[in-house]
A = this chain, B = another copy of it.
Amino acid sequence: MKLYTSTRAPNPRRVDIFLAEKGIEVPRVEIDIMKQEHKAPDFIARNPMMRVPVLELDDGTHIAESIAICRYFEELQPAPPLFGVDMLDRALVEMWQRRMELDLMVPVAMAFRHTHPAMAELETPQVAEWGEVNKPRIFTMLDWLDGELADRPFIAGQRYTVADITALVAIDFMRPVRLGVPESCTNVLRWYADVSGRPSAGA
């Protein structure tokens, strides 16, 4: 098994944190996105979507998409459970993971990809207006999330799950766009300090 990945990029980091929570180590092959190594023929053969990370199994099968890779490891090693503990919990974790991805991480990514000068060669064309439209959506989401976190420790309930991983990575990804969690979002900030303090956050 081998993980083709890029240290520090947001989606790879989701898998890194997930693996750290599980205590799983996987041999890594570093792909340099700024050098466009993800667009080289040998990488495209592994993932035609040209995105990291990709998990290569010993039989040559490739699993792309961070959340698909995480689900594979969840089944390979169920403890600790990060996708929920029973039928209803698993549905709710999926709901929260998707909300954190589609309504927080995606707007942050759109703001970054479409307004940051470093992305000019990778995101073609950059649509600056689209990047700007997404910025206030991040804060609308954080304000709402703040109310949700008033009466529970983690995004999807009483346990740390993959939804916390996505939300943590999304919020850290606000830094390159020079945005941050407003001081008024005290519950988000409490949750953020908590999940950032876990050893896995350094992964």
Residues of A within 8 A of B (CB): 48-49, 57, 61, 63-65, 67-69, 71-72, 75-76, 87-88, 90-92, 94-95, 98-99, 103, 125, 127, 129-130, 133, 144
Please pick, from B57, B91, B130, the residue contacting A68 in the complex, using a CB distance under 8 A.
B91
Overall SS of chain A's interface:
helix
> Which B residues are in CB contact (< 8 Å) with A92?
61, 63, 68
A130–B113 alpha-carbon span in the complex (Å)? 13
Please pick, from B95, B103, B127, the residue contacting A129 in the complex, using a CB distance under 8 A.
B127
Closest B residue to A141 by beta carbon equals: B49
**Are A69 and B48 CB-contacts (below 8 A) given A127-B129, A129-B127, A130-B127?**
no
> Which B residues are in CB contact (< 8 Å) with A95?
63-65, 68
| Pair B68/A103 contact, Cβ less than 8 Å | no
| Pair A99/B49 contact, Cβ less than 8 Å | yes
Closest B residue to A98 by beta carbon equals: B65
Most B C-beta atoms less than 10 A away, residue of A49, A72, A95, A130: A95
> Which B residues are in CB contact (< 8 Å) with A144?
48
Most B C-beta atoms less than 10 A away, residue of A67, A69, A127: A127
A48–B133 alpha-carbon span in the complex (Å)? 20
13 new A-B contacts, CB < 8 A, other than A63-B88, A68-B98, A72-B88, are A49-B103, A61-B88, A63-B91, A63-B92, A64-B99, A65-B94, A71-B94, A72-B87, A72-B90, A75-B87, A76-B87, A127-B129, A129-B130
> Which B residues are in CB contact (< 8 Å) with A88?
57, 61, 63, 72
> Which B residues are in CB contact (< 8 Å) with A67?
94, 98
> Which B residues are in CB contact (< 8 Å) with A76?
87
| Pair B103/A91 contact, Cβ less than 8 Å | no
A34–B49 alpha-carbon span in the complex (Å)? 35
Give the top 7 A-B pairs by smallest Cβ distance, nearest first.
Answer: A72-B91, A68-B94, A68-B95, A130-B130, A75-B87, A65-B95, A65-B98
